[in-house]
Amino acid sequence: MTSPTPPSPSAPELPSTRALVRSTLAALALAGALLLTVVLPAEYGIDPTGVGRLLGLTQMGEIKVRLAREAAEDAAADEAAMDAAEAEAAKASDAAASAADTSAVDSTSAADTTATS
C-alpha cells in the first residue's frame, strides 16, 4: 500500500524568481546587520557600530574574551607543570634504575670473589 503523494503546487502559488532573489537579499542584509550590531559585540567584544555598547553587549563580549584568554593561560601553565612533573618522574626512574644496575653489578662481583676464593 503506497501513501498518496500530495499534489504539486500550481504555478500561481509558487513565488517568482524575482521574489526569491529579493527575499534572499533581504535575509542577507538582516543577517549582516545582526552580525555587526549583536554577534560581534557579544561574542568578541568588537563593536563597529556602537550599538553593542548601548545594549551592554560589548562589555559582555570583553569579559568573555578576557575569561577565554585567562583559561588559555591557565591551561598552558598546567601543561608546563605536567611536563615538569613528568620530566622529574622520568629522572627519578632513571636514577632508581641506575642504582639497581649498580647494586646488581656489585652483588655479581661479590659472588665472583667468593667463588674464586
Helix and strand numbers, DSSP H then E, in the chain? 4, 0
Q: What angle do CA 31, 55, 62 make, to 5 degrees?
A: 90
For the record, the C-alpha cell of 14 comes out as 509558487
Which tens digit of pLDDT belongs to each residue from 6-65? Answer: 777 777 788 999 999 999 999 999 999 999 999 999 999 999 999 999 999 999 999 999
The model's confidence at residue 114, banded by pLDDT at 50, 70 and 90, is low
The answer to whether residue 110 scores a pLDDT higher than 70 is no
The model's confidence at residue 112, banded by pLDDT at 50, 70 and 90, is low
pLDDT for position 103: 66
Supply the DSSP symbol for 2: P
Supply the DSSP symbol for 8: P
The mean pLDDT value for 102-112 works out to 60
Measured between alpha carbons, how far is 91 from 101 in angstroms, rounded to an integer?
15
